[in-house]
Amino acid sequence: MPKARRSNDWGFPRWRGYDESREAATVRLCDRHGCEEKGDCPAPKSPNSPERWYFCQRHAAEYNSKWDYFEGLDKAEKEARAKSEKAENAGYAEAQHYGWGGSGDGSRSADEMRALEVLELESDADFAAVKKAWRVKAKAVHPDVKPGDKEAADAFQKYQLAYEVLKSAEERREWKG
């Protein structure tokens, strides 16, 4: 006869974690056809609809990749909304060293995207391409090459800042592993 096991549910505090039990747990799978991952990222089936798809993290990122928060706004409205969002959410910038502070799908931040635009690169450019583009552009407008040219000096500073933004982002990515 098997020996009786002692329950961990007695007394206070509760000695086992919540939602822990010995019976099987129901797991919702990703709604993408053929995917066997856990579907824990809800996404609306259509705008303003209460119905939701449930995707895994990879397919949720794919679903959201073409979504534009500023769709339907003119340039002035976009800038005003971006400015207010940045002012309201400035406290979150301090927490970027935490894993949840960054983007989970590996996409680039708005600052990184602006830096890539300055260097005239695509959003999926690797760091070797960034370094090459920066060197070509910086050599063309370097103050030693064009002494006394104010526009060239401003362009050089712009390229240098863009490179520094992308370099620090690459170092963060390498550090996280």
The overall pTM is greater than 0.75: no
Q: Write the pLDDT tens digit of every residue in 116-170.
A: 999 999 888 889 999 999 999 999 999 888 888 999 999 999 999 999 999 998 8
What pLDDT is stored for residue 169 in this prediction? 87
Mean per-residue pLDDT, 62-85: 84
- Provide the mean pLDDT of the chain: 80
Contact 53, 31 (CB under 8 A): yes
Q: Residue 46: its pLDDT value, please?
A: 77
For residues 43-53, average pLDDT: 82
Of residues 159 and 43, more confidently modeled: 159
- Please compute the mean of the pLDDT values over residues 24-45 and round it to a whole number: 86
pLDDT at 99: 47
Residue 20 — very low, low, confident or very high, per pLDDT cuts 50/70/90?
low
Whether the pLDDT of residue 8 is over 70: the answer is no
What is the rounded CA–CA span in Å between residue 79 and residue 73?
9
Cβ-based neighbours of 110, under 8 Å, separated by 6 or more: none
Q: Is 166 exposed, middle or buried (0-12, 13-18, 19+ CB in 10 A)?
A: buried
Model confidence at 7, pLDDT cuts 50, 70, 90, reads low
Q: Which is more confident, 78 or 176? A: 78
Answer whether residue 105 shows pLDDT above 70.
Answer: no
